[in-house]
Structure 1
C-alpha cells in the first residue's frame, strides 16, 4: 500500500514541459501504442453511482458506515457484499513481501535499485521496454482475475506517478504505455479501471489510456479537484487526510470544486478501534 506523502511543487521547467505535452505541442513525444501481446479492451464497464459515499480501507477491511456503498480494499481482502467494491493493486512498484525477477525492478545508472523515498520497502518497476511491460502485465493478469473471482467491480493500480519519482530514470510515455496494458487487462476481465492521482496525465494521456474514473488523494490540498472533475465529472473519489488538511473539512465539502464523493481519513487508513482512526464524508 502506498498512500500519497506530502510533496513539493514541480519545478517550473517540469510544469512547462507537462503543459506543452497536454496541449499537444509538437515538441511532445507521441503517446505510445499498447502492446499486441495483451488482450483487446472491451467496452468500459459501469462505475459507481454519482454522489455515492465511499470508504478507503487499505489499512484493513472492516464493516463501514451504513451510508457507504463504495469500498476500496486491498486485493488480498474480500470485497464488501452488496457494495461497489474496488480492488487495490500496487501496479508500478513492488509490494512489500513480493518476489519480483530482478530484471523487472528498476535500477539507476549505478546499478542501484530505485526506491520510493517515502516507502523504502517498495522498489519501482522497470517499465522502460515493451518486453518488460508485457512481462509485468503477465504477472498482474492472475491478480486481476483474482479480483474478478472475489467479486470486485473495479480495480485501482497505484503509483501511476512513479515515473515522476524515479530521478529521471523513467519517462511519462512509459507510464502511459504500462497503464494502457493495465486498462486492457481490467476491461477484458469486466473490471472498470481507476486513474490514481497523476493530474498531469489528465486530458490526452488519460483518454488514450482509457480510464473509467479517478481515485485521487488530497485534491483539495493540492488544488487539483477541479482538474479531475472537469475530466471525469462525478466519477471521482477523493481522499483527504487529517494530517495535511489546509482548511476545515466542512469547508472542503462546501467548495463547489470538491468531488461529491470525498472523505476524510487518517493517513494510515486504520480500521475502527485504532486511536488514529478517522472517517468522515461530505
Structure 2
C-alpha cells in the first residue's frame, strides 16, 4: 500500500510538440482498459525523466518524459502529461464548484495539508462526471499538444481520507478519465496505489507511474499487473538501490529530488541505475 506522495506544482513550459510511437500500439481487444482506437504505450525498460516540477532538455538516453499539462511535450520522445485529478491544485479550490469539494462533519473543506490542496468529493456519480469533465478539459489540452499519455495524480486520496471516500469511488472516476483519454488516442497511467494494480480493468489504465516502489517494495505489484510497463521515481538512495537491484533490466527507473526541480536549479537531483 502506497503511503508516500512526493510531487511538485511548479509549471514551466518548454519545448515543442512530441511524437507518439516510442512504444507499442494496442487496441481495446488487447488491453482491458483501452477504447477501440489504438493508443501508444511507453517502451519497456527505457530511459526516463520526471519533469513535473519544470521542463528542461532531457538527458541523453531518455526516451520517456513526464511533464505538467501546462508544459509542452519533448520532441521525439514518449510524453506523459501530468494532471491533478482527485484533488485541486494548491490554493485553487475557488476554481471548482463548491459541492465538488469534500466537506467534513462541520461543513469545512477537507484539505491535503501537506500540499494545500482541497480534496475532491468523488462519492456520487454526478460529482464524478463533473470532476471528470473539468479534468478532461486538461486532457484535451494534452492531446492537442501531442502528449502520448496522461498521468492523473492522487488516485490514493481514498486511502488517505478513508473516513469519507472509497476505492470504488476512485475506480469509477479513473474509468471516466481513461475512457476519455482513449477516445483522444492517449494511454493513461495508474499513479501509485499499488493495492489497486490488480484492478486495472476497473481503472481503465494501461501502464503505471510508481513513486518509491523500490523504497516501499511494491515494484512487483505494478510489474505483474502492467507487464513491466512501469516508470519508477525514487527519492532516497535506499529506494534507488532497491529498485535498481531488482528491476533495472525490466522497469524505467530514475531518482529525483523531492521538489522535482529542473536542471540548473541548485537543488536539482537526477540519478539512474
Give the aligned partner of residue 117 of structure 1: 113
Instruction: Detail structure 1 runs of 4+ shifted over 6 Å in the superposition.
Output: none
Find 1:161's aligned residue among 156, 160, 174: 156
- Of structures 1 and 2, the larger Rg is shown by 1
How has the CA–CA distance of structure 1 residues 246 and 66 changed in structure 2, closer, same or farther, with 3 Å as cutoff?
Answer: closer
CA distance in 2, matches of 1:114, 1:167: 12
Distance of aligned partners of 1:56 and 1:190 in 2 relative to their CA distance in 1, 3 Å threshold: same
Unaligned runs of 5+ in 2: 8-33
Is the 1:160–1:196 Cα contact (8 Å) retained in structure 2?
yes
Asked whether the equivalents of residues 219 and 243 of structure 2 are also in contact (C-alpha less than 8 Å), the reply is no
Distance across 1 between alignment mates of 2:210 and 2:51: 14
**Does the alignment pair 1:56 with 2:56?**
no
2:145 to 140, 145, 150: 150
Asked if 1:237 corresponds to 2:228, the answer is no
Q: Is there any run of 5+ residues in structure 1 with no aligned partner, and where?
A: 7-39
Distance 2:247 2:155 in 1: 27
**Superposed, which structure 2 residues align to 1:89-128 within 5 Å?**
89-96=83-90, 98=92, 99-119=95-115, 121-128=116-123
* C-alpha distance in 2 between matches for 1:135 and 1:161: 19
CA change 1:252–1:140 in 2 (3 A) is closer
Question: Which residue is 2:268 aligned to?
Answer: 277
Distance 1:193 1:82, change over 3 A: same
Change (3 A) 1:212 1:86: same
| 1:226 aligns with one of 220, 223, 227 | 220
Deviation at 1:252, TM superposition (A): 3.4
Q: Which residue of 1 aligns with 2:16?
A: none
Please give the alpha-carbon distance, in whole angstroms, between the structure 2 residues aligned to 1:199 and 1:236: 12
Hey, what's the Cα distance between the residues in 2 that align with 1:232 and 1:52? 15
2-side partners of 1:170 and 1:252: how far apart? 31
Indicate how the Cα distance of structure 1 residues 128 and 275 shifts in structure 2: closer, same or farther if over 3 A, else same: same
| TM-score, with structure 1 as normaliser | 0.81
Structure 2 length normalisation: TM-score? 0.83
| Residues 153-172 of structure 1: CA deviation (Å, up to 9, x unaligned) | 00000000001111411111
For the residues of structure 2 that align with 1:196 and 1:258, how far apart are their CA atoms? Answer: 21
In the alignment, the residues of structure 1 paired with residue 249 and residue 218 of structure 2 have an alpha-carbon distance, to the nearest angstrom, of 9
Output the CA distance in 1 between the equivalents of 2:49 and 2:266.
18
